[in-house]
Structure 1
Amino acid sequence: MDKILYILIVVGLFSCKSNSIAQEKETEKIKPKPKVEKPKFSDLQDNTIDPNTVHLIAVIQDVTKNASICEKSFKTATTVKVKRIINSGSSITNMISPGQEITFGFMNSPANDFDTLKQLIPKNKEVSFKIRENLCPDMSKTVYEVIGFKTKD
């Protein structure tokens, strides 16, 4: 008699559980899943900029040869007056503002030929710069290095 009672209890438990699982599956089928639109690569490419990088437009004030900024020597450097900020990446320590006068050091090939660079970016010329911010060794100041530039016509 005890065996029959145990078998009935076990059968009853399994039958109740299978009904609840079937009911859960029915409610899952009823709910529609929301559609998520994947971002397009072109959307991401237009709005992103590397960390510690600023894209800006500035007016050339002066171009100098063999400059030292923050104990770091550059073959050429330029002093500019910032006209406007186009875009900036994350992790900028000292943000640049329009109207600010800053000296940038040139790192790439145009900097090797001072005369050519001085002809490309004469005084009072509006230039679009892409610069990278680095902290000085004493961590109190910032040095800006030119990654690329484009003259405005």
Structure 2
Amino acid sequence: MRLRTERLILRDFQREDTATVLAYQSKPAYLEHYERPPPTEEEARAFVDMLCRWAEEQPRSKYQLAITLDGGRVIGTCGVRKAAAEDTVAEYGCELDPEYWRRGYALEASRHLLTWSIATLGLREVFALTRPENQSAIRLAEALGFRRVEDGRYELTCP
């Protein structure tokens, strides 16, 4: 799968993306929002392998895509994940290499993916979960039209 925005390409993960994912998920700024140590190489490989398996599922229910710059460099991931292919509710999630924060990449990628998902997958609701202290994630969710329904949970009702 491949979606193109003005500056980005959203595509399925490839196993070769593991080193890049490990590098950005190990940065201190990234880890501030997680209660865990940096991932090991094996954990990063298992994460990317899982995303690759999701892309191969038939019927497909999870669209967690690599956010890449035109040159192919992976700078993060965003996606919508349904429990089953026929569901009309999905969870949204996005993460970005801290080197690329505050440039509008997460908003650009997420808007495009959500627009595609609503039109193509027949979603009626999308929800996002975040830690209440992650103000950047909350601002992103609100910029995308999500509304807070409880501490750490945001919902987007689809047209």
What TM-score bracket applies, with the shorter chain setting the length?
A: under 0.3
Determine which structure has more spread, i.e. the larger CA radius of gyration: 1
Q: Which structure features the higher share of strand residues?
A: 1
Q: Could you say which structure has the greater relative contact order, defined with CA pairs below 8 angstroms and 6 or more residues apart?
A: 1
Q: Structure 2-normalised TM-score?
A: 0.24
Greater share of helix residues, 1 or 2?
2
**Structure-1-length-normalised TM-score:** 0.24
